[in-house]
Structure 1
Amino acid sequence: MAMPRLLSTAAQPLADRLRQAEQPVRLIGHYDCDGLTSSAILARALQRCGLRFHLTNVVALTPDVIDQLNSEVPALVLFSDLGSGYPDLLAQLKTSALVVDHHLPQGETPPNVLELNAHKAGIDGNREASAASLAFALALILDEANRDLAPVALAGAWGDRMYLDGLVGWNRMIADMAVEDKYLNSINRLPLTGETLADALASSLEPYLLGVSGNPAATAEVLQDLGFDPAIALGELDVEGTALLADWLALKLLEQGAGKQQRTQLFAPQLDLPRWGCSVEELATMTDACGRLDDTSTGIAMLLGSPSGRERAEAYVREHREQLLEQLACVEFERGRAIQHFRGDNAALKGTICTLALGYFLDRSLPAIGLAPRDGKLIASSRAAPQLVAQGLSLAEVMAQAASACGGQGGGHAQAAGASLPLEKGNEFIDEVDQLVAERLGL
């Protein structure tokens, strides 16, 4: 299956530069699922090229990261899932750099940088390719044997929620390649996990069941009303029982105001990875949990095949899920003129809370913003429903402009973006975002 010509053309100069690289290559990746999966793909590709590397995954590209790199004086820095939004910072780097990123580029690429950016390669970085997808393209150009990294690339795309409405573009081509190579199977089943039916509903995040997820007592009551044995294993449900449960889930999501994408996903085929012993969603969830719980090393180890890393990642999933369920049960969003926002104390959870709340029970006519402190800064995440993006809203532009006005930095995608700013600027930032969104939506 041929790679899109513009993509291969954009990736080729980076592959050529890596083949000539002095060792070790300094690899800097983002800390979320897409950042970890893209880092793991690049790490394995470098290893197979006989290149040593030094990998660090970071929350954001900041002046401190650039200062640290300049103190190390590496011969070559390779950034994954970050960089395109911060050309001014990249220009301060005292060495050459390669960037593999799918976020909206801001400004001109500095002369010391070669960039593989989805948008510059004619690909929609919001839907058609994640950073892991792009890293996979680069890995293929380095060595066709890297086709076995397709499952990791798909997990990265899944982590950035590119599965909603089905995989498209380069992501779809990767999935087709994985099916051809027998790494991927498509199976029709409900998107629930757990040893028992009660566990599956009480721990469910996607779908998030308002008043049921995170509430074992309410779960038991629901199952009793439906005539189910709470202790029955999911795999033991017969056709009639599965249909009854599916009908209840669909009605529940409709009643609580879940979005169309979320309701449709309830019946979408699940993507299984037989050689990994899990689904693409589960691989993405394990990876993301490692990043959110600040153990990126375990995430990388798991993605590179470590059994002990896999065991720790599975434990992190349980811990991370409990944290999210607890926060979702009590989160309160404050409405402004054009946005809705909340303040929390866990910066690693705010983006996921915005995503799940907006998808499953919030008013989708307004973007959702989450703020939380981290390392002496105020970190913001924002999410918008597809219809707002269709109306011309770009959260990447809004967050960048609002953060800049408050002495910070921001960027990302039209539908999902983030920012970092001084702690004391929270109220000013929210007011700025509210005004910018109102202007763009004509409110």
Structure 2
Amino acid sequence: MLKRAEEISKIIKSSKGIHIVSHIDADGITAGTIAYQTLKRLGKNYSIEFVKQLDEIVLERLKNENHELVWFTDLGSSISISYPEINKVVTDHHICPEKSNLSFHLNPHLFNLDGGLEISGAGTTYLVSKAIDKKNKDLSYLALIGSCGDLQDRKNCKLVGLNRDILNDGEKTGVVQSKIDIRFFGRETRPIYKMLQYSSDPIIPGLSGRESSCISFLQELGITMQDGDEWRKWIDLSKDERSLIISNIAQLLLLKGFGHKLTKRIIGEVYILNKEKEGTEVHDAKEFATLLNSTARYGKFEVGLNVCLGDRNKWLKEARKLLLGHRHNLIEGLQFAREEGIIKRDHLQFFHAGSGIRDTIVGIVANLLLNSEDVSSELPLIGFADKGNGEIKASARGTEELVEKGLNLSLAMKKAASAFDSIGGGHNIAAGATIPKGKEEEFLEILEKEIKTQLS
């Protein structure tokens, strides 16, 4: 992979003008930012845009714009063997087509590595940046935010594979540090009881989703939840207080029969960004990723880009406003999906949100549902949402246990979408597709047949 990164770095260095095209999620924003900073430091003429997907409209426009070179980050593998009219380099990590092992295409799957686990789109983009100039190692923290945004730390409760090499670069340059701590989201910014209330990996029986129970649990342990008018957060607790909470959560899980394997998931590696202020959304890699997801997914890519470029005034304030809206939309989305109902079939389950949930966040809602107490984790979950223009977004989510049994949602979604000459793909545990409106039932029939084959 490093040799391929070197090849791509030479293509970029020899080009005068480069247009970056990246995806709208946290991994895409950080990948795009790494490319942006790399080209800025090289003194190149450059421009950037963020897109939901590489559909025919986007590709035809890019073809007509006749850029000297287009750098696709966190997407592009799907067109690596097509659209030769677009002079391109691709740094991606999604499953790629056969015969795409080409000099301009960097993707872990080409080198028998898992792009859903070992390196993200921001990670592959970082490898090229580092090949261009070793001084770009200071951008490693962006690659780690991208990996956390794509949940690559979830399976092993830490980053693995090439992500660890990137982490090593970040620690050596002093921009990031890893440490063992509780893995629940919101360590830096949420009141302790809120962090426990929204815990989902693992779900805490009797506490997850129950605010009053979380408050009672902490009171019974003698944990002071407020310091004056301020709610205390996890980072405000003493070592003894943290240990007390963790040990009692572990006891609760074991008593409920969750087993040692699941109980161990309470703690794992967390990634701290050393140059950021403690107690903010940009100090912890996972929280930073969520902040970014609240920007470009709502068409405000310039906000996420500028926060990644270091703005901590105007753009960070705007990002925080968007984050509040994002959280509100997720809560409403979860409620909407539950009210509409999860429909179970033999080999999958699904919900159809119509226009009730944005197509750009239906995948996040599906993931949250699959990790909640009231949805079975024994079947993959498909979420449908209206995209407009006669199209439907389908987002599929699975679990590590299902993947271990043979589930590959990327291949399944690609196959089902291809029946309608549509686009589908992603990773084995999470994938998406765009299909014609009104074809959902046919799509589900093909998808379920493929999933049945994979899991049999």
| TM superposition score normalised by structure 1 | 0.88
- Matched residue, 2:280: none
Residues 259 and 359, structure 1, Cα contact 8 Å, conserved in 2: no
Give yes or no for contact 2:175–2:274 (8 Å, CA) kept in 1: yes
Asked whether the 8 Å contact 1:186–1:272 carries over to 2, the reply is yes
Q: Secondary structure at the match of 2:78?
A: coil
Aligned to 2:111: 121
**Shift of residue 81, structure 1, vs aligned partner:** 1.0
String of CA shifts for 1:158-191, please: whole Å, max 9, x gaps: 1111112022111011111211222222334333
* Matched-pair contact (CA < 8 Å) for 2:118–2:152: yes
Determine the structure 2 residue equivalent to 1:267: 267
Shift of residue 270, structure 1, vs aligned partner? 2.1
- Structure 2 distance, partners of 1:397, 1:60, is 17
Which residue, out of 345, 358, 378, partners 1:365?
A: 378
1:194 equivalent in structure 2: 189
Report the AA paired with residue 197 of structure 1. I
Pair 1:107-2:112 in alignment? no
Alpha carbons 2:22, 2:29 under 8 Å: kept: yes
- Contact 1:66/1:93 (<8 A) preserved: no
CA contact (8 A) 2:396 2:432 kept: yes
How far residue 211 of structure 1 moved from its aligned partner, in angstroms, is 7.5
Task: Please give the alpha-carbon distance, in whole angstroms, between the structure 1 residues aligned to 2:259 and 2:442.
Answer: 31
What is the CA distance between 1:256 and its match in structure 2?
8.8
Out of 287, 293, 318, the residue aligned to residue 288 of structure 1 is 293
Cα distance between partner residues in 2 of 1:256 and 1:294: 43
State the alpha-carbon separation in 2 of the partners of residues 257 and 58 from structure 1.
45
Give the equivalent residue in structure 2 for 1:154.
Answer: 144
Is 2:200–2:372's contact at 8 Å kept on the other side of the alignment? no
State the one-letter code of the partner of 1:309: W
Specify the alignment match of 1:433 in structure 2: 447
| Deviation (angstroms), 1:47 | 0.9
For residues 202-238 of structure 1, the C-alpha deviation after alignment (integer angstroms, 9 at most, x for no partner) is 4556666678566645544544455544435134434
Q: Could you tell which deviates more after superposition, 207-216 or 235-244?
A: 207-216
Normalised to the residue count of structure 2, the TM-score between the two structures is 0.86
TM-superposed deviation, 1:407:
3.5
| Aligned residue in 2 for 1:309 | 315
CA distance in 2, matches of 1:245, 1:52: 53
1:99–1:258 distance in 2 versus 1, CA, 3 Å = farther
Give the corresponding residue for 1:324: 330
Percent of aligned pairs with the same residue?
27
Q: 1:141 aligns with which of 121, 131, 135?
A: 131
**CA separation of 1:301/1:54 partners in 2, compared to 1, >3 Å: closer, same or farther?**
same
Match of 2:392 among 357, 373, 378: 378
Inter-CA distance 259–389: structure 2 relative to 1 (3 Å threshold): farther
Identify unmatched segments of 5+ residues in structure 1. Answer: 1-6
Structure 1 residue 231 corresponds to structure 2 residue 226: yes
Give how far 1:255 is off: 8.3
Please tell me the root mean square deviation across aligned C-alpha atoms, in Å. 2.8
Report the Cα offset of residue 432 of structure 1. 1.6
Displacement of 1:317: 2.7
CA distance in 2 between partners of 1:220 and 1:118 (Å): 45
**Cα separation, partners in 2 of 1:208 and 1:299, compared to 1, 3 Å:** farther
Distance 1:253 1:68, change over 3 A: farther
Give CA-to-partner distance per residue, 1:41-90, whole Å, 9 cap, x none: 01111111111211111111100111111221111111111121244xx6
> Given the alignment of the two structures, is residue 336 of structure 1 paired with residue 342 of structure 2, yes or no?
no
In structure 2, the CA distance between the partners of 1:137 and 1:250, relative to structure 1 (3 Å rule), is same
Offset at residue 286 of structure 1 (A) = 1.6
Q: Does 1:98 align with 2:98?
A: no
The residue number in structure 2 matching 1:346 is 358
- CA distance 1:282–1:338, shift in 2 (3 Å): same
Aligned length: 432
Letter in structure 2 aligned against 1:341: F
User: What CA distance in whole angstroms lies between the structure 2 residues aligned with 1:351 and 1:196?
Assistant: 26
Question: Alpha-carbon deviations, 1:95-131, whole Å to 9, x = none?
Answer: 31111111111133398x8211111134321211111
Choose from 173, 198, 206 the match for 1:181. 173
